[in-house]
Structure 1
Amino acid sequence: MSFAKVYLSLRTAAGRALLVGACGLALAGCNSLSSLNPFDKSETYKPEIVADVPAEEIYNDGLARIQKRDFGGAAKKFNSLDRQYPYSEWARKGLIMEAYANYEGGLYEEAITASKRYLQQHPSTADAAYAQYLLASSYYDQIPDITRDQAASERAIAALQDLIQRYPRSEYAADAKKKLQVAGDQLAGKEMEVGRFYLQKRNYSGAINRFRTVVSRYQTTRHTEEALERLTEAYMAMGIVSEAQTAAAVLGHNFPDSPWYKDAYALLTKGGVEPREDSQSWISKAFRGVPQVGQRAG
């Protein structure tokens, strides 16, 4: 990876403050007062000039800190390159390394900020794909369990999709696709949790809306089979038999060996009907063009 070939170093103070001593009154018997005359050319003060630390030294210092796992210190070193050497190649390299150091240190918000800055300032460089990957991974690593708010999952999915679409041939695309599957599964799991709750409370329309989201948006996740079976349950409970038959038929067509299909089939036959697909149903339309089970991503 190109980002691993470059690194850090930090800035020192550009100058030091001058010390000016104030003269006090003389002891008793002395009636003269000493003062500094700003127009007295005999007394001059020259500020000490401290040379800037070379950019390469700052960069290597940052790398050394990464090797010591001092990610916070490394990020600060890389950040200083932009302040000391703005618009330079060192500043560009420092910015991607700042994002990396923050990510490795678990400082996800800082990593997100640095990654976004890189993408805004250097969208066409070789490291742009890596910046997008760090951005997506920072969101992805914050995905909580399904019992909590899934805003991070949604942001991760959006960033991962951007990576795959904008940099399809990058070395990060394959991993992004795997992460995208997991993030989608997480969101689908949240929808299923709420849908089951509604179904238990006999809020069938609320349950159908949740299961519909899974079937429409997260068809390649492991929750699709159950969602179709739950749709069969909810529609049968509401007396909308045609939709229940369609849900079961689509389930059987795409997942013929699924235990969820067996449950859906048993439920329909108990009600005196069998699975039958209505091509005009939203369920049927949602699955048109979807890869068969053997072709789906694992």
Structure 2
Amino acid sequence: MSLPRYKVTMLALTVGLATAFVGCSSNPKKDVVDTGPKSNEQTYFNNAMKSLDKGQYGDAAKALEAMDTYFPTGQYAQQAQLELLYTKFKQKDYEGTIALADRFIRLNPQHPNLDYAYYVRGVANMEQNYDSLLRYTSLKQAHRDLGYLKVAYQNFVDLIRRYPSSQYSVDAAQRMKFIGQELAESEMNAARFNIQRKAYLAAVERSQWVVEHYPQTPQVPEALATMAYGYNKLGDKATAQQYIEVLKLNYPNLVKSNGEVNLRAARKEASWWNRATLGILGRGDKADVSKDANMSNEENAETSANTEQKSSLLNKMTFGLLDRPNREVSAEPARADESLYDSQRNK
């Protein structure tokens, strides 16, 4: 009995595919043989600098990596490693940037530009926290895992502690200020959740952490109000009253006329319509913290004023993906003190 036509066709296809796979497996790729450097160190370095000046980071990375492989103790070895730091960052290879920075710090403890490696490492860790789709939305970054931000904060602490007069220390301090606000907001987000589930002691502890470790952040008023509210719910009226007195002196609008803490005002809670639509609609005007650490105070004030405007309906309905204001984290470290290398690059 003959097979149906469709079964014959399927059998033929199966045999053909099996033959193709067998043929591929029997003809493995040849191993790539490293033939060594194709030019001298000076040529590699000049080509890398030309590529960097043109923004051709892929070509620059190849030349610099070749220098790192073939001339590890050459005249331009350390300079090439610093340039590769910058190149990897521009390619958004943040893990590679951090690994290179760690290696440079470990191998060159007395290098005059070691502060640059500390700085770029911190910025790269900072960028890793935002390197996802959420950085292009209006969703709060502080409500996500902030592990990379905590590492970046410590990186900047190390930089300022070791090199307080570094040209990068001012920018690092500004970034620390922003990170502190993000970390404080994360703590307060947890405190709000604990209040909702009536875990008042946990909410108090979160708030106390904000007051003690992030005293200059905008979350402090809410933290004090949460502590007063939490202690009152725990039955510690005396401690609650102490915090209410602090609120009366510093934030009188957060205390009601009957002497109770106005936790809703402290949170600046959105309307029920805002909560019902997961924050898309009904949101009040709230200025975002300026995320450009390279701006002056005047520029920050101007940017904050501009971001106070309401987002458009298109921005809200697309969760901030479209028609969004420009408020991304600025993370564009310049190349390491180029003036030190100008004379050698022009050779």
Cα distance, 1:262 vs. partner?
A: 2.6
Q: 2:113 aligns with which of 120, 127, 130?
A: 127
Cα distance, 1:76 vs. partner?
A: 2.6
Give me the whole-angstrom Cα distance separating, in 2, the residues matched to 1:214 and 1:113.
32
Give me the whole-angstrom Cα distance separating, in 2, the residues matched to 1:220 and 1:243.
23
Q: Which moved more, 1:58-67 or 1:173-182?
A: 58-67
Q: Over residues 127-169 of structure 1, what are the superposed CA-to-partner deviations in whole Å (9 max), with x where a residue is unaligned? A: 1011111001101122341121110110010001001101100
The match for 2:70 is: 84
Structure with the greater alpha carbon radius of gyration: 1
Give me the whole-angstrom Cα distance separating, in 1, the residues matched to 2:212 and 2:247.
13
Cα distance, 1:14 vs. partner?
A: 6.6
Q: Over residues 32-54 of structure 1, what are the superposed CA-to-partner deviations in whole Å (9 max), with x where a residue is unaligned? A: xxxxxxxxxxxxxxxxxx87512
The match for 2:185 is: 189
Q: Are the structure 2 counterparts of residues 133 and 210 from structure 1 closer, same or farther at C-alpha, using a change threshold of 3 Å?
A: same
For the aligned residues, what is the CA RMSD? 2.2
> Is residue 37–residue 70 contact of structure 2 (8 Å, CA) maintained in 1?
no
The match for 1:269 is: 259
Q: Over residues 173-227 of structure 1, what are the superposed CA-to-partner deviations in whole Å (9 max), with x where a residue is unaligned? A: 0000000000111111111111111112211112112112211211121111110
Secondary structure of 1:65 counterpart: helix
Give me the whole-angstrom Cα distance separating, in 2, the residues matched to 1:121 and 1:161.
21
Q: Is 1:63 the counterpart of 2:59 in the alignment?
A: no
What is the 5 A alignment of 1:154-165? Answer: 154-165=150-161
Return the letter of the residue paired with 2:72: P
What is the 5 A alignment of 1:64-213? Answer: 64-144=50-130, 145-213=141-209
Q: Are the structure 2 counterparts of residues 87 and 247 from structure 1 closer, same or farther at C-alpha, using a change threshold of 3 Å?
A: farther
Give me the whole-angstrom Cα distance separating, in 2, the residues matched to 1:80 and 1:121.
19
Q: TM-score, normalised by structure 2?
A: 0.59
Give me the whole-angstrom Cα distance separating, in 2, the residues matched to 1:81 and 1:51.
9
- Show structure 1 runs of 5+ residues with no match: 1-12, 16-49, 272-297
> Is residue 37–residue 66 contact of structure 2 (8 Å, CA) maintained in 1?
no
Return the letter of the residue paired with 2:126: Y
Share of identical aligned residues, percent?
Answer: 25
The match for 1:224 is: 220
Q: Provide the aligned length of Structure 1 versus Structure 2.
A: 220
The match for 2:324 is: none
Secondary structure of 1:142 counterpart: helix
> Quick one: higher RCO (CA 8 Å, sep 6+), 1 or 2?
2
Q: Are the structure 2 counterparts of residues 213 and 133 from structure 1 closer, same or farther at C-alpha, using a change threshold of 3 Å?
A: same
Cα distance, 1:63 vs. partner?
A: 1.7
Return the letter of the residue paired with 2:204: I
Q: Over residues 227-282 of structure 1, what are the superposed CA-to-partner deviations in whole Å (9 max), with x where a residue is unaligned? A: 011111111111112221232334455xx2x3xx432x3287249xxxxxxxxxxx
Q: Are the structure 2 counterparts of residues 200 and 57 from structure 1 closer, same or farther at C-alpha, using a change threshold of 3 Å?
A: same
> Is residue 75–residue 99 contact of structure 1 (8 Å, CA) maintained in 2?
no
Give me the whole-angstrom Cα distance separating, in 2, the residues matched to 1:80 and 1:248.
64
- Show structure 2 runs of 5+ residues with no match: 1-32, 131-140, 262-300, 302-347
Give me the whole-angstrom Cα distance separating, in 1, the residues matched to 2:166 and 2:115.
7
Return the letter of the residue paired with 2:253: K
Give me the whole-angstrom Cα distance separating, in 2, the residues matched to 1:143 and 1:98.
22
The match for 1:30 is: none
Q: TM-score, normalised by structure 1?
A: 0.68
